[in-house]
């Protein structure tokens, strides 16, 4: 694969060492053009609703291809937070009222779940050990009272990766739904929601999918979708969204019943171009990202720099240090190296457009500045 050809798809990679896909991907040239096209369409066409609807349908189709699903099983939303809240609003906390989660999830998950404790949800949090979670902990936590289990695919904290298919099996054996936050993996780690038997999967487009903020997508298992009646909804959740004075709900078919109000149209334009780029290199990216990830791990080890990233992790390498936010700012200002602080660590997250030389250069500077 021609790396230079890939790098030419993006702005400014010759001037900036961008190693923070876990926070924000660099700008694709087609993404910038798509947002300019959005403005042009509005200026020239005023209110091009039919065009916007076509764009949303295209975005659904592309996201479905990424996760090996069907377009009808995808809802277009604004963030993973809005997706999870829509899911939670469809739950009834009666005979089953326990939600099993973990402390390795992105904070969105824990905050959103606890918001439903006022409606009777009981949250059970699995505690990590050594920055990982043993799958046996799910066996111990999930039982016949478990309504839903959350399983982060790749953790934002340190790249810890879980076998969500195995966790789904444990959940289903106990009659629990399985929800997967795929934000730090989709675009860098392939997934098949049907093979893994996932009930709900959400991911946004800001990071590994090369888009912008303001858009996320939700997959809902078609075998359960018609049994769910979300309350956190808007006009696009209904079969007839233009019905004024409605006195009852008539949900749209499939995952669209989980949608809210008017889509974030500029972000939809951008998401299409980001996902198209990922799909163009779909078979290449996971292998290349794994190669770059391992190069970073090996380089850190050779330089005596510690990490809290475990074996069999993916995408993200976390380097524990004092004041990681200051380190991020200094590396950006002094060396034009883009990293991302989170918690007590500085994170490196190479993607398929990066080179091994960029990673080595960044690690040399990190060692010189912080690990003399």
Which tens digits make up the pLDDT trace of 133-154? 999 999 999 999 999 999 999 9
Assigned token pair, 225 = 């979708």
Q: What is the pTM of this model?
A: 0.96
Residue that has been written with the tokens 């999918």 in this structure? 209
- Average of pLDDT values for 239-264? 96
pLDDT at position 312:
86
What is the share, in percent, of the chain residues with pLDDT greater than 70?
Answer: 100
The confidence band for 311, taking pLDDT boundaries of 50, 70 and 90, is confident
pLDDT at position 316:
98
Assigned token pair, 262 = 């008017």
What are the sequence ranges of the domains in the chain?
3-27+282-370, 31-278
Can you tell me the distance from the alpha carbon of 293 to that of 288, in angstroms, rounded to the nearest whole number? 8
Q: How far is CA 56 from the centre of its chain?
A: 18
- Average of pLDDT values for 268-272? 98
The confidence band for 258, taking pLDDT boundaries of 50, 70 and 90, is very high
Can you tell me the distance from the alpha carbon of 77 to that of 83, in angstroms, rounded to the nearest whole number? 6
Identify which has the larger pLDDT, 95 or 14: 14
Can you tell me the distance from the alpha carbon of 348 to that of 361, in angstroms, rounded to the nearest whole number? 12
pLDDT of 75 over the 80 cut: yes
pLDDT at position 372:
74
pLDDT of 331 over the 90 cut: yes
Which tens digits make up the pLDDT trace of 119-136? 999 999 999 999 999 999
Q: Which fold has domain 31-278?
A: 3.40.640
Q: What is the mean pLDDT of the chain?
A: 97
What is the share, in percent, of the chain residues with pLDDT greater than 90?
Answer: 98
Per residue, what are the HEC states of the chain? Answer: CCHHHHHCCECCCCCCEECECCCCCCCEHHHHHHHHHHHHHHHHHCCCHHHHHHHHHHHHHHHHHHHCCCHHHEEEECCHHHHHHHHHCCCCCCCCCEEEEECCCCHHHHHHHHHHHHHCCEEEEECCECCECCCHHHHHHCCCCEEEEECCCECCCCCCECCHHHHHHHHHHCCCEEEEECCCCCCCCCCCCCCCCCCEEEEECCCCCCCCCCCEEEEECCCCHHHCCCCCCCHHHECCCCCCCCCCCCECCHHHHHCCCCCCHHHHHHHHHHHHHHHHCHHHHHHHHHHHHHHHHHHHHHCCCCCCCCCCCCCCEEEECCCHHHHHHHHHHHHCEECEEECCEEEEECCCCCCHHHHHHHHHHHHHHHCC
Report the CATH number of the 3-27+282-370 domain: 3.90.1150.10
pLDDT of 104 over the 80 cut: yes
């Amino acid at each position: 694969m021609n790396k230079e050809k890939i790098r030419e798809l993006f702005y400014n990679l010759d001037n900036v060492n961008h190693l923070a896909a876990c926070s924000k991907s660099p700008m694709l040239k087609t993404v910038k053009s798509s947002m300019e096209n959005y403005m042009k369409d509005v200026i020239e066409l005023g209110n091009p609703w039919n065009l916007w609807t076509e764009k949303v349908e295209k975005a659904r189709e592309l996201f479905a291809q990424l996760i090996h699903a069907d377009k009808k099983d995808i809802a277009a939303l604004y963030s993973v937070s809005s997706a999870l809240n829509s899911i939670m609003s469809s739950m009834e906390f009666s005979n089953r009222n326990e939600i099993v989660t973990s402390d390795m999830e992105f904070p969105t998950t824990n905050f959103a779940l606890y918001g439903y404790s006022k409606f009777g949800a009981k949250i059970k949090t699995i505690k990590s050990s050594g920055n990982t979670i043993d799958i046996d902990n799910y066996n111990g936590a999930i039982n016949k009272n478990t309504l839903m289990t959350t399983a982060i695919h790749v953790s934002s904290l340190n790249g810890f990766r879980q076998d969500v298919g195995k966790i789904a099996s444990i959940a289903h054996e106990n009659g629990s739904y399985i929800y997967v936050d795929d934000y730090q993996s989709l675009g860098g780690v392939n997934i098949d929601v049907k093979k893994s038997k996932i009930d709900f999967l959400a991911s946004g487009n800001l990071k590994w999918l090369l888009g912008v903020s303001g858009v996320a997508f939700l997959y809902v298992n078609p075998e359960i979708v018609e049994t769910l009646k979300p309350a956190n909804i808007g006009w696009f959740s209904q079969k007839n969204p233009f019905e004024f004075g409605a006195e009852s709900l008539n949900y749209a078919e499939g995952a669209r019943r989980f949608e809210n109000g008017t889509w974030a149209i500029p972000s939809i334009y951008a998401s299409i171009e980001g996902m198209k780029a990922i799909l163009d290199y779909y078979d290449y990216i996971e292998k290349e990202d794994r190669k770059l990830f391992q190069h970073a791990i090996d380089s850190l080890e050779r330089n005596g720099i510690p990490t809290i990233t475990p074996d069999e992790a993916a995408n993200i390498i976390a380097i524990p240090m004092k004041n990681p936010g200051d380190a991020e700012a200094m590396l950006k200002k002094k060396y034009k190296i883009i990293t991302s602080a989170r918690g007590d660590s500085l994170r490196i997250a190479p993607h398929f457009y990066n080179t091994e030389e960029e990673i080595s250069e960044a690690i040399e500077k990190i060692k010189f500045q912080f690990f003399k």
